[in-house]
Chains A and B, each alone.
Chain A
Amino acid sequence: MNESALLHNSLLIGAILFSLGVVGFLCRRNMIVMFLSAEMMLQGVSVSLVAWGRYHNNWDGQSLVVFILTVAACEAGLALALVLMLFHRTGSLDIAIWHQLREADQPAYADAELPEDTDAAPRHWPKLTPAGHEPQHSEEEELHRSHV
């Protein structure tokens, strides 16, 4: 196999993965998706490191990727604890809620109006024979699950 071609192609894939992670981290507002994008950037770097290690016949690349895995595990634990805490405070995964943490001279962020979500498929629940009587619905309870 042509080793330098393998290196070249792997670096290409690593670059694309890293860039996609950057785009996701910059653009998405869901905190969990932002976290996944950060992990994707680490994946891109890992692919490049393994490729360099193979090209130079050197174990350092793979050792570094082991450390990347460790850091990613730490990051997952901390990030998910933080996400859970922030969700507890606001009941939402939206990162824009925390925009009061911005710099003092920045304008407040205003949400744009968005048309109705048309392509979320309508849900068809199975029809079951009614048993007993229907309990009272609480609207607030349906909007978010208070016991999470």
Chain B
Amino acid sequence: MTTPQAVVGMGTLLSGGGIWLLLPGGSARSRLLGLVLGLAGAGCLAACGLPLGDLARAESIVFWSLAALTVVAAAATVTVRNPVYSAIWFALSLIGTAGLFFFQGAQFLGVATIVVYAGAILVTFLFVLMLASPKGHAYYDRVGWEPLLSAATGAVLVGLLTMTISNLLLSEVKAPTAEESKNLATATHQPGGVLNDEHVASLGAQLFSKQLVGVEIAGTLLLVALVGAVAIVAHEKQYRPSPTTRGAQR
């Protein structure tokens, strides 16, 4: 009895249990078990993915490799106990996401993700190196808030979303006929379609015509955030901590 719902349920349970065992607080052996369970769960969830089409075998290999890279690196970001490794895994996960953007034809976003986040990750990395505990894993990296409840929350969320997505696309919307797919595929390559040759020009035209107000607001938001960050740090300069509060590190 392998209905899609059963596969989704099993994948959700397995990956939730795997994440629970992987989260900080367990022993090395339970983490190994968690790794196995998590990979099995991810496999079950991948099994309810749809084939990308018959002629696109190489394409689906690329897609699933990128997906596996993204998801595995994301899981490692959350579960690895050393924040330095966390930052590195997050960078890998971002590279996977950028690859998925490229795969879907969003070239500008792929590049922008790498460029913007490379800077952000570099800064985060510097922060970790500056602030992390110099002696082994810090106490607060070795425990978590309620790992079981957190993992259950994540499992419920992913289960509900997956069920909704599958039901929506399989039953209500119906898979498009071959002709409809072909029409969509040609429409996306027309001038103005999301896959046309002048990708960046089209995205820019969209941003600076239809979304112009949004762009202005985003610029203002950046300015406000900059001022806010400066204000936070400048205010901190006046604060002189007493020696007793400073040594409160575990």
Contacts and interface: CB of A to CB of B under 8 A. Distances in A.
B93 A43 contact: yes
B207 interface: yes
B157 A63 contact: no
Interface in B1-57: 19, 23-25, 28, 42, 45, 48-53, 56
Contacts of A114: 25, 139, 142-143
B156 to A, nearest CB: 9
Nearest to A118: B28
B125 to A, nearest CB: 10
Nearest to B230: A81
13 contacts: A15-B161, A19-B161, A23-B23, A27-B145, A32-B87, A40-B74, A60-B210, A62-B109, A84-B236, A90-B246, A94-B139, A112-B143, A120-B136
Nearest to B77: A36
Interface residues of B, number: 114
A103 interface: no
A112 B195 CA distance: 55
Interface in B182-240: 184-185, 187-188, 193-195, 202-203, 206-207, 210-211, 214, 218, 221-222, 224-226, 228-229, 232-233, 236, 239
Contacts of A80: 123-124, 127, 229
Interface in A90-127: 90-97, 111-112, 114, 117, 119-120
Contacts of A77: 225-226, 229
B181 A2 contact: yes
B122 to A, nearest CB: 11
Interface string A49-92: 01101110111101101110111111111101111110111111
Nearest to B246: A91
B65 interface: no
B239 A84 contact: no
Contacts of A10: 100, 104
A77 B225 CA distance: 7
A20 B247 contact: no
Nearest to B19: A23
B194 A8 contact: no
A125 to B, nearest CB: 13
A1 interface: yes
Contacts of A57: 184, 187-188, 193-194
